[in-house]
Amino acid sequence: MAGATTLGDLASAIGARTQESGVIAELKAGSEDAYAWLIGEFHQPIYSLVYRIVNDPADAADTTQDVFLKVFRGIKHFHGESSLKTWIYRIALHEAANRRRWWFRHKAHETPIDPVEAGELEFAGEKRLVDPRESPFDSFAHAEVRNAVGQALQHVPEPYRTALILRDLEEMSYEEIGEVLQISPGTVKSRITRGRDALRKRLAGYVREVGPELGLIAPEECRDRTAEGSRGGREVEVTP
């Protein structure tokens, strides 16, 4: 790596677009340290993003590899029109959308020999943060809700689903989402609002069905429950 540049310098440089030129220059020069940092910084977030779109761990792993191949091959043609993160996320969304379309054309017609039970899948290398004060019931309830939300999210139509994933799961700002999707912040907010509404409607029946057992409140019941006052019990927030 040129000069006294270190991985720590690279990590701090990525935070501001005005300081990214050094990082990009190292990548364009073929620095192995720069590429190692890039993979360490973005591999898990990109895998998680792709998984939420293709909903299959093997396909997500293959697609993530394709994303970084595109990044490595295309970095010489990257001229900083957007942030490095935005550029990589844009490639990831494009590759994930292509993989999803391919899946519906081909793989969706296959019948697996050993179906995987719902709730058994998890992101490769994902670290679960467990509250030591959480009871076994709460832990089960939260996992059950996460699985239900994940399944419902698959049925939210595009382009609202992608906007919802980037905002509520990837926690990107409206401006970042606008850059990734190449749309205005106003359009971003509109898509997120419509996506949340679609997700809420998808989950309403599930919440009514399991609400008494898991302590959930159906969306249309929240206002009435608030007006009546708290009656005790446990509530689990239903968000992506």
3-state class of 217 per DSSP? Answer: coil
Say if CB 59 and CB 103 are below 8 A apart. Answer: yes
Domain 10-125, CATH among 1.10.1740.10, 1.10.760.10, 2.40.50.140, 3.40.50.10260: 1.10.1740.10
| Predicted confidence (pLDDT) per residue in 201-240, tens digit | 888 877 777 655 555 555 554 444 444 444 444 444 444 5
Q: How far apart are CA 195 and CA 27, in angstroms?
A: 37
Cβ neighbors of 66 (< 8 A, separation 6 or more) are: 95, 99
CATH code given to domain 134-240: 1.10.10.10
Q: How far apart are CA 229 and CA 213, in angstroms?
A: 20
Q: Where are the alpha helices (DSSP H) in 165-218?
A: 174-181, 185-214
Highest-confidence segment of 76-85, 106-115, 185-194, 222-231:
185-194
Q: How do the domains of the chain map onto residue ranges? A: 10-125, 134-240
Q: pTM of the full predicted structure?
A: 0.61
Say if CB 67 and CB 53 are below 8 A apart. Answer: no
Q: How far apart are CA 193 and CA 116, in angstroms?
A: 33
